[in-house]
Chains A and B, each alone.
Chain A
Amino acid sequence: MESLKIAATERSPEVDFDFKHGVLSLRGESYPEDASAVFGPIFEALERFLPTVGNREIRVDFDLTYFNSSSAKALMNMFQMLDNSAAGGARIVVSWFFAPDDDTMKEFGEDFSEDLEHVVFNLVAVESAA
């Protein structure tokens, strides 16, 4: 399946889904005026990709510094999808990156991963490149 690459904008994250190698990442800030415009293509791609993964190993990185409530709901939906796939046999590792001094992002990561039962979830503190 072809990769999904969408450049970041001021209000939306960079999307880099390399399906061939099983490495998916969302990076940046997310507070779009129209959440469906940003997350629509993402979900569409995941819905096509996840049923094909079987028991492959998939890495999903979330490196977000800021998001609004709609994006938060979309992220939880995404986590749920990934967890369902993992329940079906895929080996999915989700990494949630946050800056060491950003307690809010860390807590959101903790909260959002509460319901995950099948994916491997990592909270990763990283100094931001900026």
Chain B
Amino acid sequence: MIMTDTVIKCNSVYKIFGTNAKKMLQEANGNVDAKTFQKNGCIVGVNNASFEVSRGEMLVVMGLSGSGKSTLLRCISRLTDATAGKIYIEDQDLLSLNNKELIELRRNKMGMVFQSFALLPHKTVLENIAFPLQIKGVKDQECINKAMDMVKLVGLDGRENYFPRELSGGQQQRVGIARSLAVEPDIWFLDEPFSALDPLIRKEMQDEFLRLQEKLQKTIMFITHDFDEALKLADRIAIMKDGIIEQLDTPANIVLNPATEYVKKFTEEVPREKVLKIEDVMEKPNNENLSDLKFSKNEIIENVAEKILTQEKSVAVIDENNKIVGTLHPSKIIHTVFGGRKNKG
């Protein structure tokens, strides 16, 4: 096996529900149209998905309900078998694995967090977290120690002997997270992990999630409905519609250069200042008069807008080496924040 930095790789993955899905797919020759399939009793879950996720990257998948996000994730974790296409996990052909190899892969490489927590109701917090380890055949004492570490990691110490029903939603999801991390997987799947939580707890959990990720540096696929969440977490965002990945790109690119009408509409409401960095809107350095303020090109606009707007002249934009790489006029900020929405109506 050659080690590359690509951890997950999908090549024209299709998932079509229905009895004669395989045959219909062959006849369609890769050009799947959801409507005609539906007429014939097939539901298109994932339609020709090709992408790669590299090590330590966080890919956030977005889309409306029923757009096939979960289905895509389940294909990659092989909870369902893709109808066609190739999926590689660290250069291993996922679909060619037999049952035993698949179980090995899941026991050692993958972790998953579920939207509705999916905890085992008859086990305590500790037992739930230790469960994947026990399944793997790790010795009892070791399991417990490891699980205790996880309990501490997600901040549930003191509650390890509670049952899931005795915990709040946020606490239950922490258990779910701890469980998925217990075997120290390289790849981490999260299917709308925070959707069932109220906004305050959600924010708290997001922060905690970022803290964890900083520490653990996993390869992550994360599903969410919430654009703010996506922006906060994502390295790249994939937007799905009817099973098709409409666009997969960095947050800034998705907002600035939507590939399709759908993506454009999808991102219209997104506050630009939250997405764009200064480098995305700056101009080439010219010899105009600059104000004294300097900003790093990697700053998100939202964070510095106020300061820039107090200036009358353009401000300087610098890179890591303190070299001026561009300028930015306050009016540009105003244009970015409000301009995007003007041509909506």
Bound together: no
Identify the A interface with B (CB < 8 A): none
